[in-house]
Chains A and B, each alone.
Chain A
């Protein structure tokens, strides 16, 4: 068992969501001497830009006639590097609590606790969570014999596994778990896979060697008792349904965004968005801010550039909370030696 070195942290600002807007907030906060910790459910920074459209060109980032989601993420990571933010990836912020000393405490589903006077919710469309197939009684089996991710491979040792999906996750886990499973079957809606061609050909070899089965069909029914799957009924296109015996179903239909535990943080919500003022981008709760796609206000446009603007204004108010006794001076990075020192670009200082 590897134990994490540290589970409790204290910082100036906690940012929920490491998408482009959360990342740029690190920069704006950093210029004003505030340190940030970021929490994201994905395994890497970039949010939607990295998860949904890393290769797609974006045309409305000021100063970049065209830039891909991944390039924008990489540039933002380079831009905030001088402020060395701390990332808590692969985890979801699950609890927000006010402490007796006036600070906020955020807990994650990976048992990390962070304390700070300011929390910024930059969660975009919410947390990326697995898409679920539309099958009756699915919930009954979830977490017991139906899964949407593999956390520990050993869990599936000796199981009779059916994997559903046609992308890289489905194919990778088919190949990785096939040697461990007592029986392995892959099911996809068509005999064409968007996963890496190499994985697809390895899978087809296993099928040809009778080491696994391939079914071109859709799942229509689950059979079992007390959450333990015994078989599924699948229906091939235009043909009669049939049963496949299996004790484990792994479904990989991609991810979709859901608001998740933020809904229970006690903030005012309007149609799953967080209303804020347009001066400080603060929520109904003092010290809790919201920027980017997840907030709403009259005239709101869900654009990355709006989120950048919001992060700059939010940082001004965050400063007043983090440093109540300091005077806030507005400075430009072009002229302020003080800011240039922070960015590590002032030669005299170096």
Chain B
């Protein structure tokens, strides 16, 4: 499984993804610049990513706490998600996301 992550400078990285891992954890594991300061507790909005349009509808719908937390993200768009709330599974093989500005380290 792979995910494709575009960093704030516009460079795309292909990352090996593991079933059950949070997309945030995969991005951090590869050392890409993502703050994710609360460590995946859906408490800080510093793992904000934009999901590529092809993938938006394939993700689980947002829970209320994620939608609430996005209030603290900057430049929220329709395809905004918190990457700590996206769990990797076979169906998401090939997922494309872009790290949002303001969440980089």
Contacts and interface: CB of A to CB of B under 8 A. Distances in A.
Interface of A: 48, 52-53, 56, 125, 131-134, 165-167, 188-190, 192, 194, 218, 237, 253-254, 256-257, 272
B41 interface: yes
A167 B74 contact: no
A256 B44 contact: yes
B71 A165 contact: yes
B38 to A, nearest CB: 5
B105 to A, nearest CB: 7
A298 to B, nearest CB: 16
A48 B105 contact: no
A133 B67 CA distance: 18
22 contacts: A48-B38, A52-B37, A52-B38, A52-B41, A52-B43, A52-B44, A131-B72, A132-B74, A133-B74, A133-B75, A134-B74, A167-B71, A189-B71, A192-B67, A194-B68, A194-B71, A237-B78, A253-B71, A253-B72, A254-B45, A256-B37, A256-B44
Contacts, number: 54
B46 interface: yes
A131 B74 contact: yes
B28 to A, nearest CB: 11
Given A189-B71, A256-B35, A256-B37, A56 B101 contact: no
**Shortest 6 CB-CB contacts between residues of A and residues of B:** A254-B72, A194-B68, A166-B71, A52-B38, A52-B43, A56-B41
A124 to B, nearest CB: 9
B8 to A, nearest CB: 12
